[in-house]
Amino acid sequence: MRYFFKKKINIVVSVILCISILIGTYLIVQKEKRLEKEKIADIKTHYSSTVQMEKGNIFILQDGKYEVIGHVENTIYPFLDDFNIANSNDVYFPILNSNYYVYYQDVQPTEKSFSKTIPEYYLPKKSITTHEVTHFYRDGVLLFSFNEGFTFPSYFSFDSYETVFFFNDFYDIKKEEGKIQEEEIEEATAISIIEFPKMKDDCNSDQCLKTDQLKSFLTKFQEQEFYSLTKEDYEFWIQGQIHLKKKAIFFVSDNTEILKPFFEEMNFKINEKGNWKFEGNNEVSKVSNQLDSLPSYLLSSKTSEEHFLKMVKGESIEKPKTSVSSTSKSLPSKNAKATNIAVLNYHFFYAPGEDCSGGNCMPVSQFREQLNFLKDNQYKTLTIEEYRAWMYGEIELPARSVLITIDDGAKGTGRHNGNKLIPLLEEYDMYATLFLISGWWSKSNYESSHLDIESHTYDMHTEGVCSNQNRGAKMLCSSKEQVMEDLKKSIQMTKTNTAFCFPFYAYNEVTIESIKESGFQLAFIGGSRKSSRSDDKYKIPRYPIYSTTSLHQFIEYIA
């Protein structure tokens, strides 16, 4: 009996022991599964299509083992390949389009998008073969290195670096750390720059395009299988740092917001002109050109599809000429007397290669074109005294008369700042009047028998001074005593008080009263219409002439 009782106890103990082992095993397995899930979850928190890596190693898989092949020194953003993290051993993430890996703890996901591809029109003209160790830089900073050599095509070439494409991004390699090989390629040696004007459906001038014209031009461009460049692409090309496939075109405009949807619809690029200077001389651009004087083709409502295709192909075309018959006005008879006279207002003059920004900057070539028209059509350019005498009814003048005025005395108007104006006046034997800010520049810089000097204040050509006034012009909130004192100084400097020009075309009762009391007989403003003897002689209108003023518009003004 005792035997059977003891045996029973042993069985119970064995059962309990087995159950305990099973429970323990189950708990251990569950813990391992939980730890596995936690580890997998942790690994997944490090994975993203783009990650940030500040420090760490780069690995290569050899014979089933991950071996260190490179090291990251400063922040990079690797692109990772699609990767299914199935277990806790998946701790090495594959880098996109490579045989390399990063360790999961060395990277963190980033929301930044750095995805880059090489534009298909970039041409590598060189290749660089590195030595046993390859260093990758950006802006002179070492980002990462590999313990092996590579041969890369070079897409950009700078003084000390060749730029290569690796890990889906551009990096620099020092020229001294590799051997460079030149490649034979067929590349673009000239690129047409085409300037697009405003787009208006009621366009009837040289300064705009109709919507259907724009669409037609872009369709023709597409049919010819050309491609368009970004501003960055073109700048790298003209500086000789990048090579491009043939059939490249650079489109620019001052009105990109309106034009951009039409270009994007056809996958073309349109760029802001910014501070680059375009000549509009219907010539193709080359690497030897400079950003401050770029040959370009000008589109207008009168550009035919045939001429547009010539522009695209970089062929020479004659600049469209505006004839008198194409204007809505005809020129006055050569024998007629003037009943009204156009007063033209210029500011600055510059030649190719010189810097001048803003619509008030007049290319010498454009000014010469206007002088040629005046000369060819026998216009009389007036001295200020001739114009004064006509306004006061003392003399008669031919209907083909104009008064050329220039404001300020800055860029290209004097011998000290470019000297473009005076030689042209003397060459064409024409006359003009300069309204000089006499406290800023000496009258001696502008002396010529073809240029009259009159007042543009002594030192009141300053904007942003007066609140709630036209451009905050200083004259408008100065006291009468201050204005009179300034005018007195100006008269002393110019030695004349025949004519005055209001800064920024801004005037009020005080300034007009001061002008009269100072003895001035004429004062000029803006207005964009012809002057007549019936006009207030202290509010004489003028036509502002800009770099965007076409010859067609110029003729309209003086006709």
pLDDT for 450: 96
Does pLDDT of 207 surpass 70?
Answer: no
- Rounded CA gap, 420 and 42, in Å? 72
Does pLDDT of 272 surpass 70?
Answer: yes
Hey, what are 70's tokens? Answer: 């490179």
pLDDT for 208: 77
- Rounded CA gap, 162 and 155, in Å? 7
69 contacts 40 by C-beta, under 8 angstroms = no
402 contacts 375 by C-beta, under 8 angstroms = no
Q: Which amino acid is at 27?
A: L
What is the length of the chain? 559
Helix (H, G, I), strand (E, B) or coil at 169: strand
pLDDT for 280: 78
pLDDT for 498: 96
Does pLDDT of 468 surpass 80?
Answer: no
The domains of the chain are located at: 51-109, 122-182, 190-312, 324-558
Does pLDDT of 26 surpass 80?
Answer: no
DSSP codes joined into one string, 121-162: TEE--EEEEE-SSEEEEETTEEEEEESS--EEEEEEE-SSEE
Does pLDDT of 319 surpass 70?
Answer: no
Mean pLDDT confidence for 308-335 = 72
- Rounded CA gap, 470 and 314, in Å? 45
Lowest mean pLDDT among 271-285, 372-386, 532-546: 271-285
Q: Which amino acid is at 399?
A: A
pLDDT for 496: 96
Does pLDDT of 212 surpass 80?
Answer: yes
How many CB atoms are closer than 10 A to CB 49? 14
Q: Which of 41-55, 201-215, 297-311, 396-410 has the highest mean pLDDT?
A: 396-410
pLDDT for 451: 97
Mean pLDDT confidence for 339-367 = 88
Does 324-558 match 122-182 at the fold level?
no
pLDDT for 17: 75
Cα torsion 547, 548, 550, 554 to 10°: value is -70
Is pLDDT larger for residue 547 or for residue 70? 70
Q: How confident is the model at residue 357 (pLDDT cuts 50, 70, 90)?
A: confident
Lowest mean pLDDT among 150-154, 233-237, 309-313, 319-323: 319-323
- Rounded CA gap, 20 and 496, in Å? 117
Domain 122-182, what fold? SH3 type barrels. (2.30.30)
Mean pLDDT confidence for 538-546 = 94
- Rounded CA gap, 422 and 495, in Å? 20
Radius of gyration of the chain (CA): 38
Cβ-based neighbours of 463, under 8 Å, separated by 6 or more: 471, 472, 473, 474, 503, 504
- Helices 509-517, 480-494: inter-axial angle, 10-degree rounding: 40
Helix (H, G, I), strand (E, B) or coil at 555: helix
pLDDT for 5: 58
Q: How confident is the model at residue 373 (pLDDT cuts 50, 70, 90)?
A: very high
Q: How high does pLDDT run on average in the chain?
A: 88
Hey, what are 431's tokens? Answer: 């006359």
Lowest mean pLDDT among 11-15, 258-262, 398-402, 442-446: 11-15
Does pLDDT of 547 surpass 80?
Answer: yes
Does pLDDT of 324 surpass 60?
Answer: no
- Rounded CA gap, 110 and 75, in Å? 12
511 contacts 457 by C-beta, under 8 angstroms = no
- Helices 305-312, 211-223: inter-axial angle, 10-degree rounding: 50
179 contacts 152 by C-beta, under 8 angstroms = no
pLDDT tens for 513-533 read 999 999 999 999 988 899 999
pLDDT for 550: 87
- Rounded CA gap, 78 and 98, in Å? 11
pLDDT tens for 107-118 read 999 877 665 788
The closest of 323, 81, 287 to 191, measured between CA atoms, is 287
Does pLDDT of 237 surpass 80?
Answer: yes
Does pLDDT of 35 surpass 80?
Answer: no
DSSP codes joined into one string, 307-334: HHHHHHTT---PPPPPPGGGSSS-PPPT
Q: How confident is the model at residue 206 (pLDDT cuts 50, 70, 90)?
A: low
Q: Which of 141-150, 193-202, 278-287, 460-469 has the highest mean pLDDT?
A: 141-150
Is pLDDT larger for residue 192 or for residue 209? 192
CA atoms within 13 A on the CB side of 305: 13
Hey, what are 184's tokens? Answer: 């034979």
Start-end of H helices in 459-532? 474-477, 480-494, 509-517
Q: How confident is the model at residue 51 (pLDDT cuts 50, 70, 90)?
A: very high
174 contacts 298 by C-beta, under 8 angstroms = no
Does pLDDT of 322 surpass 60?
Answer: no
pLDDT for 10: 66
Helix (H, G, I), strand (E, B) or coil at 59: strand
pLDDT for 440: 96
Which H or E run contains 11? helix 2-45
Mean pLDDT confidence for 58-72 = 95
pLDDT tens for 87-126 read 989 999 999 989 999 999 999 998 776 657 888 899 998 9
Cβ-based neighbours of 178, under 8 Å, separated by 6 or more: 128, 129, 130, 131, 134, 162
Mean pLDDT confidence for 200-209 = 69
Per CATH, the homologous superfamily of domain 324-558 is: Glycoside hydrolase/deacetylase (3.20.20.370)
Is pLDDT larger for residue 367 or for residue 13? 367
CATH number of 190-312: 3.20.20.370
- Rounded CA gap, 350 and 368, in Å? 12
Does pLDDT of 1 surpass 60?
Answer: no
